[in-house]
Structure 1
Amino acid sequence: MPHAARPTVTLHDVAAAAGVSVSTASRVLGGSTRKVAPEYEARVLAAAAALRYTVDASARAMRRASDSISLVADDLTTPSMGVVVAAMEREARTAGAFVTVSSTMGAAERQAETVRVLRSLRPRALVVTSSRFLASAAEGRLLKELRAYEEEGGRVVMVGETDMTFSSIVFDDYGAGRSMGAFVAEIGHRRVAIFAGSRESRNMADRTSGFIAGLRAGGVDERDIRIIPCEVNRQGGFDAARELAGAGMDGRQAVLAVNDAVAIGALSGFREAGVEVPADVSVTGIDDISLASDVTPRLTTVALPLARAGAEAIRFALGDSAAPQRLALEGHLIVRDSARPVESNAE
């Protein structure tokens, strides 16, 4: 009578029994040249022996060490993403690795398909950056693909707010918005417009909520805060500014844009409409992209540590931590020429 087949023991089972990450277990059992702490190595070997784990020789042959780190991003053309990618590339180069990039435009299915394809290329790590890590996406195909990649010995790092249990780097977008809202209220503005993006974009929604909280805390009545949806790019800011100017500004004294690209578009839109910044209306942004200090007037903004996020993502990807890591990065207010106190506007 044939014996019942022994249940297949996976690398994930060994990692769980040893209390380490799948990537750490893979380095120990897969013959990686990357060092693992002796304590972790002993735990992995003991767990593998207890579970009678055997390495699939054909799979191991396919898992030759790769020096690539794959970045999966929404849109690679945005100025802020350009800063992040440049920092990732610099940090990876110092570690002897290189970065490949793919754009998904934030579509969950496209994200999942991109990860599926990248799994076959065996990159050393995956860095996924997006503003759209929604619950529906997290519970679907994208999460399954990322978990499968991790079980194969890879490491996943998320840049953006997420409920997924991978290492992550997040910006305090709500805090950035709140600090800007508080500043605009502090310099005397009481009728304000917010050039906001889609509510489906987590980071832009958080910035908008922060704007409102900061304005309200500074004494601005919620009835005097007007939210104008727009595309989150220069053209979106230009169109929103022309719309507001066409309505006679609706008494608005200040515009808070969800990022610098929108704010810079708004500067052009107001200029074309004959509305002077900051004499007629103050304009602010968030991110502090390089162009923010070159436009006229120079843009008041909240600087986010974009380059640090890119560098830290690579360090997380190449690190040996057994448990998922999380890093929250805060911004700081930079006051330039595009925002002026109400008293000065009256002169």
Structure 2
Amino acid sequence: MAVTLADVAARAGVSAATVSRVLSGNYPVADTTRTRVLRAVDDLEYVVNGPASALAAATSDLIGVLVNDIADPFFGIIAGAVQSEIGDGKLAVVCNTGGSPERELTYLTLLQRQRAAAVVITGGAVDDDAHQAALAARLRRLSDGGTQVVLCGRSPLPGTAPAGATPSGRDTGAEPGGIVTLAFDNTGGAQRLTEHLLTLGHRHIGCVAGPADRTTSRHRLEGHRRALTARGLPTEDERLTVHGGAYDRAAGYDGALELLRRAPELTAVLAANDTVALGVCAALRDQGLRIPEDVSVAGFDDLPASQDAGPPLSTVRLPLHSAGARAGRLAVGREGAPPGGVTTVRAELISRASTAPPPHRPSR
């Protein structure tokens, strides 16, 4: 017997009207209530009926693109590149999650309801096992319904490895309606950036990491610490690591001031991304410190503003536009998936004027 809206309501302990509000996304619902409803949807494997014209399969012209923050150039570049590749016959809808795991799941439910032809999910995920499991279940359900899922800038989710072949018979590692992953080498990129600072002679390197609950933050911090370990330097000194509440300028500014308070001897700062690095630079200048003469600063992503910073930022280049364009082609079937459905996009070290050897400080 098919699961009904009433079944979901009973499981979640809410009214059928509340379930409808959560699934439609048109009315405000408390986060705790939304979470209960979405968990009941997953537990019961409830499939929402979409428009009558799209009941048979995922044949709509809709492409959903999920981003954490459309105002962040990182996501704007990827989303724009996706849209440029999907063609005029498809409608791209950008869904701004604000970094909320509940909103991410809600958007996926809405896209399933509309029988989206494809879904592209960009950037890192919330570093939480329960959310990862719920997300994997939602993506499998989309995939089973014929929706092509592409993860761009996110690690593969457990239990979502694709298999099969395209209608043309070419073995690409993923079937139509499968799940394809374009993962960014955040760990390797951060390791190479830290190695760059170590090679310059820095030994007191502060890190303004991203939010502690994001996979991107964890991976980049792991790369940074891996480089320190390889040089025999301690990684357990928590004085030298500050987690920002976001990937924005304010996090960099506040993080740099905190690092200077904790460890005034630091000679370099590794930032979570270029925007955070710009905040770090502003804080250092306000404290009367020169970049890089007194403190070197490095970012990540190589956003356009990094070249115009004063001085230009050393950073790690992620090919955001080309990765987004490839995700768009994969979404509409204009490019075959990589073997196994997973590929890693390499990060490239870019050395500019914001990093230099540390200043000579005579011993006291």
Q: Shorter-chain TM-score category?
A: 0.7 to 0.9
1:246: how far off? 4.7
Query: In the alignment, what sits opposite 2:39?
Result: none
Tell me which stretches of 4 or more aligned residues in structure 1 moved more than 3 Å.
58-65, 142-145, 218-225, 244-247, 320-324, 343-346
**1:216-295 equivalence runs, <5 A:** 216-222=229-235, 226-231=240-245, 232-246=247-261, 250-295=264-309
Larger Rg: 1
Give aligned pairs, total. 289
- Partner SS state of residue 100, structure 1: strand
Shifted more, 208-217 versus 256-265: the winner is 208-217
- For 2:249, the aligned partner's letter is R
Aligned counterparts of 1:235 and 1:179: Cα–Cα separation in 2: 26
Whether contact under 8 Å (2:294, 2:358) holds in the other structure is no
Residue among 69, 73, 88 paired with 1:75 = 69
Give per-residue Cα distances to partners, 1:36-64, cap 9 Å, x unaligned.
xxxxxxxxxxxxxxxxxxxxxx6756658
Aligned counterparts of 1:343 and 1:64: Cα–Cα separation in 2: 61
1:213: how far off? 1.4
- Partner SS state of residue 294, structure 2: coil
Gaps of 5+ in 1: 8-57
Shifted more, 82-91 versus 314-323: the winner is 314-323
Residues 1:71 and 1:107: Cα distance change in structure 2 (over 3 Å): same
Aligned counterparts of 2:58 and 2:107: Cα–Cα separation in 1: 21
Aligned counterparts of 1:246 and 1:149: Cα–Cα separation in 2: 49
- Partner SS state of residue 139, structure 1: helix
1:197: how far off? 1.9
Query: In the alignment, what sits opposite 1:28?
Result: none
Aligned counterparts of 2:226 and 2:86: Cα–Cα separation in 1: 39
**1:1-347 equivalence runs, <5 A:** 63=57, 65-93=59-87, 96-132=89-125, 134-140=128-134, 142-159=135-152, 160-164=154-158, 165=160, 166-222=179-235, 226-231=240-245, 232-246=247-261, 250-319=264-333, 325-342=341-358
Cα RMSD (Å): 2.7
Give per-residue Cα distances to partners, 1:79-110, cap 9 Å, x unaligned.
211111121121123x7434210011232221
Aligned counterparts of 2:331 and 2:325: Cα–Cα separation in 1: 10
- For 1:203, the aligned partner's letter is T
- For 2:72, the aligned partner's letter is T
Residues 1:307 and 1:72: Cα distance change in structure 2 (over 3 Å): same
TM-score, structure 2 as length reference: 0.72
Shifted more, 230-239 versus 130-139: the winner is 130-139
Whether contact under 8 Å (2:136, 2:157) holds in the other structure is no
Shifted more, 74-83 versus 255-264: the winner is 74-83
- Partner SS state of residue 193, structure 1: strand
Give per-residue Cα distances to partners, 1:183-229, cap 9 Å, x unaligned.
10000001110111233211111111111211332454446671122
Give per-residue Cα distances to partners, 1:113-140, cap 9 Å, x unaligned.
1111122223210112242254311322
Whether contact under 8 Å (1:186, 1:218) holds in the other structure is no
Residues 1:221 and 1:143: Cα distance change in structure 2 (over 3 Å): closer
Aligned counterparts of 1:145 and 1:285: Cα–Cα separation in 2: 34
Whether contact under 8 Å (1:135, 1:163) holds in the other structure is no
Whether contact under 8 Å (1:288, 1:301) holds in the other structure is yes
Whether contact under 8 Å (1:245, 1:273) holds in the other structure is no
Instruction: Using the aligned pairs only, state the percent identity.
Output: 30
Give per-residue Cα distances to partners, 1:145-192, cap 9 Å, x unaligned.
333322322111122013241211100100001001111000000111
Shifted more, 222-231 versus 167-176: the winner is 222-231
Shifted more, 183-192 versus 112-121: the winner is 112-121
- Partner SS state of residue 264, structure 2: helix
Aligned counterparts of 2:233 and 2:58: Cα–Cα separation in 1: 60
Aligned counterparts of 1:113 and 1:246: Cα–Cα separation in 2: 41
1:253: how far off? 0.6
Whether contact under 8 Å (1:188, 1:342) holds in the other structure is yes
1:255: how far off? 0.4
TM-score, structure 1 as length reference: 0.75
Give per-residue Cα distances to partners, 1:240-290, cap 9 Å, x unaligned.
12233455x520010011111110111111111211111110000110000
